[in-house]
Amino acid sequence: MLQEIELRSREDIFLVNFAFKEKRIIITNDKDFGYLIYRQRLTTWGIILFRFIKESPSLKIKILEEILSKSGNKILNHFIVVNEDKVRIRKISK
């Protein structure tokens, strides 16, 4: 919980670097992470980007559970974009 508070106001670049060092996947609503990974070529273990029109915690949890059960082996080193209609999984080039 302490890390969550410390990370709350950090810049996206810091968060990508922190998550990589900690071997963590980033789950976000912020599409700026796509720019950081594909344009600035920052290294990451993976990103899951939620792009819902109407967001709710229960919907995010449901979709995340589906991703883990159906595509769990495609999370590492992938950029996953999720909306109401589909899940797009793209390999991150290193």
Q: Look up the pTM and report it.
A: 0.87
Does residue 67 surpass a pLDDT of 80?
Answer: yes
DSSP code for 42: -
Residue 81 has pLDDT above 60, yes or no: yes
Q: Give the three-class secondary structure for 20.
A: helix
* CA 18-67-25 angle, 5° bins: 5
- For residue 6, the model assigns a pLDDT of 74
Domain range spanning residue 64? Answer: 2-91
Helix (H) or strand (E) holding 56: none
Nearest Cα to Cα of residue 32 among 17, 46, 13, 18: 13
List the structure tokens of 21: 């060092």
Per-residue pLDDT at 72: 79
The yes-or-no verdict on residue 1 having pLDDT over 50 is no
Helices (H), the chain: 2-7, 12-21, 32-38, 57-71
Report pLDDT for 39. Answer: 92
Q: How many domains, in total, are found in the chain? A: 1
Residue 4 reports pLDDT greater than 60: no
Mean pLDDT of 47-71: 90
